[in-house]
């Protein structure tokens, strides 16, 4: 008996030590939590520029439908960073948990970063190809191709909005996926950029800021634009990829959320979108988060619950029987 007690004490001590090590080791707890939710990891949906582009599939916590509705998530990262594992960071953890609990699958997408070799619209094509790919294999996972939604944060919201608003036949990528649709029923925008040409006011920039802006233009659109002499044709090219350019009477319902303390993406980007949707009488929900920063960190539990409930209610509203 004494040996059993000693063994139990040793096991408990080891468990406590492991827990303390975990808490102090700098492990990304959001990533750990995310990986516990992933059912199918690093699924290759296409190869572009000799690189495998992957997505993760999070299957629902319970099955509420004969076929599983799907929410696609597009991460942010200024078009040059971020990762699909960021899905459960901040307030999104609560949203993800509730979506899965409602019987929806979530598919978190990686796409090409923009750099000196890759420019718009490669990343938009990737997002739409990820949807097309899932349509192509929907039967294998029992996914409901009539119930898709798109969700993005920051620059990921820009991509999600553009992919959701633009016609299904626009921004083709992989040739083998062209026969599949990529239409969605709704889109969720968390602190998204909506009009790149208005993100910076070049008339108020100093020399260093202008140089940074020039580098951004080169990355986003390739060489050819001069920050000191932007032409009408330059602005037309920028607009080719802005979601605002594709708003019409057929635009899908949109949920817009922005933090009042966001110092990364100006809230005017969301206000512009809200106003344009109203002009076309498009169904939309607009919610300003008091105290919310760009990633909606450090919110009160009541606010997190409110956001999660609002988004899940919005998603369920546009479920098609």
22-81, pLDDT tens digit by residue?
A: 444 446 888 999 999 999 999 999 999 999 999 999 999 899 999 999 999 999 999 999
Q: What pLDDT digit, counting tens, does each position of 123-154 carry?
A: 999 999 999 999 999 999 999 999 999 999 99
Position 14 scores a pLDDT of 43
| φ, ψ at 243 (rounded to 5°) | -60, -30
Percent of the chain whose predicted confidence (pLDDT) is above 70: 92
pLDDT at 295: 86
Band (pLDDT 50/70/90 cuts) for residue 220 is very high
Q: Which residues contact 174 (CB under 8 A, 6 or more apart)?
A: 46, 47, 48, 129, 132, 133
Per residue in 156-189, pLDDT (tens digit) is 999 999 999 999 999 999 999 999 999 999 999 9
Q: What percent of the chain has pLDDT over 90?
A: 86
Given this model, what pLDDT does residue 52 score? 98
pTM assigned to the model = 0.91
CA dihedral defined by 89, 91, 94, 96, rounded to 10 degrees?
-60
**Is the pLDDT reported for residue 274 higher than 50?**
yes
Tally the C-alpha atoms within 13 A of residue 195's C-alpha that lie toward its C-beta.
20
Average of pLDDT values for 96-113?
98
Distances (CA, A) of 224 to 129, 214, 234, 235: 28, 10, 9, 12
Average model confidence (pLDDT) across the chain? 92
The predicted pLDDT at position 297 comes to: 87
Question: For the chain, which residues make up each domain, given as ranges?
Answer: 1-29, 38-195+242-317
Backbone angles phi, psi at 42, to 5 degrees: 55, 50
Which pLDDT score, from 0 to 100, does residue 6 have?
Answer: 47
What is the predicted pLDDT for the residue at 10?
40
The dotted CATH code for 38-195+242-317 is 3.40.50.1820
Span 246-270, average pLDDT: 96
pLDDT band at 85 (very low <50, low <70, confident <90, very high): very high
User: How far apart, in Å, are the Cα atoms of 23 and each of 17, 26, 27, 237?
Assistant: 10, 7, 8, 48
**Where does the pLDDT of residue 248 fall: very low under 50, low under 70, confident under 90, or very high at 90 and above?**
very high
């Amino acid at each position: 008996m004494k040996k059993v007690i000693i063994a139990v004490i040793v096991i408990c001590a080891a468990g406590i030590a492991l827990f303390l090590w975990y808490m102090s080791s700098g492990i990304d707890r959001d990533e750990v939590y995310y990986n516990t939710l992933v059912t199918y990891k690093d699924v290759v949906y296409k190869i572009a520029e000799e690189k495998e582009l992957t997505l993760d599939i999070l299957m629902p916590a319970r099955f509420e439908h004969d076929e599983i509705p799907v929410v696609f998530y597009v991460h942010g990262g200024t078009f040059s960073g971020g990762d699909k594992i960021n899905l459960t960071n901040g307030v999104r953890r609560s949203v993800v948990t509730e979506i899965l609990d409602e019987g929806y699958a979530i598919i978190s997408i990686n796409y090409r970063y923009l750099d000196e070799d890759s420019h718009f619209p490669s990343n938009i094509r990737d997002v739409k190809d990820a949807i097309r790919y899932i349509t192509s294999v929907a039967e294998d996972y029992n996914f409901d191709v009539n119930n898709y939604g798109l969700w993005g944060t920051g620059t990921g919201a820009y991509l999600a909005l553009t992919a959701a608003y633009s016609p299904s036949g626009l921004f083709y990528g992989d040739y083998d996926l062209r026969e599949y649709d990529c239409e969605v029923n709704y889109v969720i925008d968390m602190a998204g950029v909506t009009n790149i040409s208005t993100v910076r006011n070049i008339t108020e920039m100093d020399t260093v800021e202008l140089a940074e802006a020039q580098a951004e233009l080169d990355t986003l659109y390739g060489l050819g634009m001069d920050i000191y002499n932007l032409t009408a044709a330059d602005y037309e090219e920028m607009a080719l990829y802005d979601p605002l350019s594709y708003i019409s009477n057929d635009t899908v319902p949109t949920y817009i959320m922005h933090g009042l303390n966001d110092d990364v993406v100006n809230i005017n980007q969301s206000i512009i979108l809200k106003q344009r949707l109203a002009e076309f009488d498009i169904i939309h929900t607009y919610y300003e988060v008091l105290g919310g920063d760009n990633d909606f960190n450090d919110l009160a539990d009541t606010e997190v619950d409110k956001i999660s409930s609002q988004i899940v209610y919005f998603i369920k509203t546009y479920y098609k029987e």
